[in-house]
Structure 1
Amino acid sequence: MAAFVTNCVSVIFMVSFVFTIIPCLVANTTITIDKDAHIADFDEFLQKRAEKALQSSLSAYNPHPEEVTDNFNKQVGDLLLGGNVTRRNLKKSDCMATNPIDRCWRCDPNWAKDRKKLARCARGFGRYTTGGMAGNYYVVTDPSDDDIQNPRPGTLRHAAIQEEPLWIIFERNMVIRLSEELLITSNKTIDGRGAEVHIAYGGGLTLQFVQNVIIHNIRIHHIYPGSGGMIRDSVFHIGLRTKSDGDGISIFGSNHIWIDHVSMSKCSDGLIDAIMASTAITISSCKFNNHNDVILLGASDGHSEDAIMQVTVAFNRFGKGLVQRMPRCRWGFFHIVNNDYAQWQMYAIGGSAHPTIISQGNRFKAAKNQFTKEVTKRDYAEESEWSKWQWRSEGDVFLNGAYFVESGAPLHETPFNGKNKLQFKPGSYAGRLTRYAGALKCKASQPC
């Protein structure tokens, strides 16, 4: 027993850390209460859900993440080499899609008749996320949220707590002011296409101990902390929740999550937080504005469970009024690819606890402030330590004095070799790849 404990705590940096910590996590599936969970009473129902979620996250972990990044870059390269992203061709085909995820569904004028086609379009680490594809459609007709223990049928809260898979859509434009955080169960898609849907001026979305959720084409802003209380998180369970932080989207102990074409701003805490052994996540084609702490990936330096975290951040626009954490990473493997960054106020990409960060094909435009030119920021480590962390930049474009401080081992194989060799810097295409980031105004019988 002593030898086992020694092996579990004697974790080394970088890749060897991951292969050490995973057997420890598998062998110790007892879940303890964490203040970030906002759970006041960790009862038997939640204990079972948490244990199931952890095993699911461990199964979702890919021991060869470079294969995922290479495949993602191949898809981008194939699209660009195909020549279908010029303004002339966009006008000719009436297709407004400029990246491989959008090309999968946005050019179809009949998208409203086959909404679930979207579930086949995820890429990156969240590529197996299908959301509510296996279930029925649920139409939200009522924007109210006045009963968090017994939500009314037709409301978003009633749809989100159902046990079966559901593809959730909206009857009309609506602003949904959540009385408290909305707890979403597994196998759900929230699809705002065809309506202008705002989650605003109340609680945010919480994905806790769940799997297989798609959040698509909605607007999330002005999210405030909740006071907590007895909140239903399942048809079969009501739990006592403590005060929530005011995150736009909170991902806790969950996997196979895809957040796509979401516009986010002005939340009390983070816009997106993913913590506590969450993994297999893609954040794509989103638009972020006017916020301090944008994306947090990893709870704290002391939460080694996040060693299995693998996240793709792609085709997003980090726009005006952003300060930091685009994203801020801990422990895991993060592919940050073909995003467009504009004038951050502190730094763009940061981290601690030796994460692996691969930045490829991004466009970084620094602000005028001479003290905020650096893209990267390492926390809680001396250079003798962080110099071993693998933070690599490839094909990025730097404007207005921006620069990326690399560290660690170089990439063993570049995804731009051979067949995928592009004759231009991929970062120069970040603008057009992110041109339609954020929530779209989709109309039936027309390409989005």
Structure 2
Amino acid sequence: MSQTMALNRLGSIFLVFFLLSCVAVIVNAENDTAEDEYWKERAAVAMKIAEESVHPNPQEVTEEINADVHELIMGQNSTKRKLRGSKGYDGPCEATNPIDACWRCDPDWADNREKIVDCVKGFGKKTTGGKGGPIYIVTDDSDDDIVNPKPGTLRDAVIQKGPLWIIFEHSMVIRLQQELMVTSDKTIDGRGANVVIAFGGGITLQYVKNIIITNIHVKDIESKAGGMIRDCVNHFGFRTRSDGDGISLFGASNVWIDHVSMARCDDGLIDAIMSSTAITISNSHFTDHNEAMLFGASNSYSQDKIMQVTVAFNHFGQGLIQRMPRCRFGFFHVVNNDYTHWIMYAIGGNMNPTIISQGNRYIAPESHVAKEVTKREYTDESEWKHWNWRSEGDLMVNGAYFVESGDPNVAKSEKIEMLPFKPGTLASTLTRFSGALECCVGQPC
């Protein structure tokens, strides 16, 4: 073969490879464009729902939950009962807060799981989860195929269309290979089993609505590399590395997280960002973590002004350091929680969030430099003194103190004065059965 012929052949081979690479670039670009359009469309729908979910007068919501607590504690609720379900407690069932009083002591709770939909309080009160949909029973704890999930797995359940009430056939530990992408109108209901999501990816609620997560453990969640992941029955796409949040809300609205036990995640235990709103986090137990909750991730994302979150009847326990929660923009009602541990601070924020703290117990650490409950991040007093951060009826223990600011009447109304929230002295009672419960079918939970 002559040198000229060899060069011509090499040139032809090079041309073929060049043309193939151009085709690949074009195909990838088209795929990326289609993927961008898919998420843009979902984001637009989610933003519309979020804006419609914002309560025009958030003080009314704080008043409602305070009135319900008052009614229960004062014995005016005819459904007042005894409560069981916590480790180490085998006495009669005693309802200690109005959410639990709504359903916990009914021995037939397993025959009427949807009853809890009527029990949510606070900003997430319109959440119905999978109500009206069929029951999906998770029978398989594996997570081997994240693009084509096996029927019977949790990943297969959460991507289904329409309302779905997801329960578990038996106790299981689920190790997610990648983040779990949940679609709208779902309830993940761990009652009746010991369900642990651990040592893998966390739960992601991205551009979805109407989600209930109840009675599960979420711990030791890891950041995952990403890749091709199915997010609904008719779509899968490339996901970048996940942060390692236990439960991540990204443009999600009408969400209720109740009776969840959480610890040790690579990033936050619960993070809510990108216009997530209409959220209630209740009756949960948080331990062994640095940055527990982040509500609003960016100083530049002012759309988080629509964020409204209720944090009620939770126990912030051993091994916690900070962010319980840390807030940007938005309106946050922190009511009747028990803060027994922190190392740096309990509640922080910046970008002018409204934070109403009522009836919590704050037990400061021994360190003399960490007695303050609150922390304003990267902001001069000349600015934060106008932010509405109020403390009413909180119990301060071991030198704890809450630095207030803003309008002293922001949380007051005639209704609150008539039916007040319960004082911080009762926080340990109201949160006594926080975390995932030991529920047995046919018995009060």
Q: TM-score normalised to the size of structure 1? A: 0.88
Q: Secondary structure at the match of 1:198?
A: strand
Taking the aligned partners of 1:437 and 1:214, their CA distance within structure 2 comes to: 16
**Pairwise mapping of residues 31-430 of structure 1 onto structure 2 (< 5 A)?**
42-82=35-75, 94-412=92-410, 413-414=412-413, 417-421=416-420, 426-430=423-427
For the 8 Å contact 1:291–1:322, the answer to whether it is kept is yes
1:46: how far off? 1.9
Taking the aligned partners of 2:315 and 2:230, their CA distance within structure 1 comes to: 34
1:42: how far off? 4.2
1:411: how far off? 2.3
Taking the aligned partners of 1:207 and 1:297, their CA distance within structure 2 comes to: 14
Deviation digits for residues 286-330 of structure 1 (CA, Å, limit 9, x no counterpart): 000000010100111111110000000000000000000000000
Structure 2 counterpart of 1:193, one-letter code: R
1:98: how far off? 0.7
In the TM superposition, structure 1's runs of 4+ consecutive aligned residues that sit over 4 Å from their partners are: 39-42, 87-93, 414-418
Taking the aligned partners of 2:33 and 2:189, their CA distance within structure 1 comes to: 31
Taking the aligned partners of 1:89 and 1:276, their CA distance within structure 2 comes to: 40
Q: Secondary structure at the match of 1:259?
A: strand
Taking the aligned partners of 1:121 and 1:89, their CA distance within structure 2 comes to: 17
Taking the aligned partners of 2:33 and 2:354, their CA distance within structure 1 comes to: 34
The answer for the alignment partner of 1:28 in structure 2 is none
Gap regions ≥5 residues in structure 1: 1-38
For the 8 Å contact 2:350–2:376, the answer to whether it is kept is yes
Q: Secondary structure at the match of 1:119?
A: helix
Residues 352, 47 of structure 1: alpha-carbon distance in 2 compared, 3 angstrom cutoff: same
Taking the aligned partners of 2:136 and 2:337, their CA distance within structure 1 comes to: 33
The answer for the alignment partner of 1:447 in structure 2 is 444
Taking the aligned partners of 1:240 and 1:58, their CA distance within structure 2 comes to: 28
For the 8 Å contact 1:74–1:415, the answer to whether it is kept is no
Structure 2 counterpart of 1:327, one-letter code: P
Q: Secondary structure at the match of 1:75?
A: helix
Taking the aligned partners of 2:173 and 2:306, their CA distance within structure 1 comes to: 36
The answer for the alignment partner of 2:18 in structure 1 is none
Q: Secondary structure at the match of 1:385?
A: helix
Q: Secondary structure at the match of 1:301?
A: coil
Q: Secondary structure at the match of 2:369?
A: helix
Stretch moving more, 92-101 or 224-233: 92-101
Deviation digits for residues 72-128 of structure 1 (CA, Å, limit 9, x no counterpart): 10111111111789x996699932321000111101010000001011111000000
Gap regions ≥5 residues in structure 2: 1-31, 85-89
Taking the aligned partners of 1:58 and 1:397, their CA distance within structure 2 comes to: 35
Taking the aligned partners of 2:288 and 2:201, their CA distance within structure 1 comes to: 18
Deviation digits for residues 31-68 of structure 1 (CA, Å, limit 9, x no counterpart): xxxxxxxx997432222111100000000011210000
Q: Number of matched residues?
A: 407
Residues 41, 343 of structure 1: alpha-carbon distance in 2 compared, 3 angstrom cutoff: farther
Q: In the alignment, does 2:443 pair up with 1:432?
A: no
Q: TM-score normalised to the size of structure 2? A: 0.88
Q: Secondary structure at the match of 2:304?
A: helix
For the 8 Å contact 1:41–1:240, the answer to whether it is kept is no
Structure 2 counterpart of 1:78, one-letter code: E
Structure 2 counterpart of 1:295, one-letter code: M
Q: Alpha carbon RMSD of aligned pairs, Å?
A: 2.0
Taking the aligned partners of 2:245 and 2:289, their CA distance within structure 1 comes to: 11
Point out the structure with max Rg over C-alpha.
Answer: 2
**Pairwise mapping of residues 6-17 of structure 1 onto structure 2 (< 5 A)?**
none
For the 8 Å contact 1:144–1:155, the answer to whether it is kept is yes
Percent of aligned pairs with the same amino acid: 59
Q: Secondary structure at the match of 2:199?
A: strand
Taking the aligned partners of 2:64 and 2:83, their CA distance within structure 1 comes to: 25
For the 8 Å contact 1:180–1:203, the answer to whether it is kept is yes
Deviation digits for residues 222-248 of structure 1 (CA, Å, limit 9, x no counterpart): 000011001000111111100001000
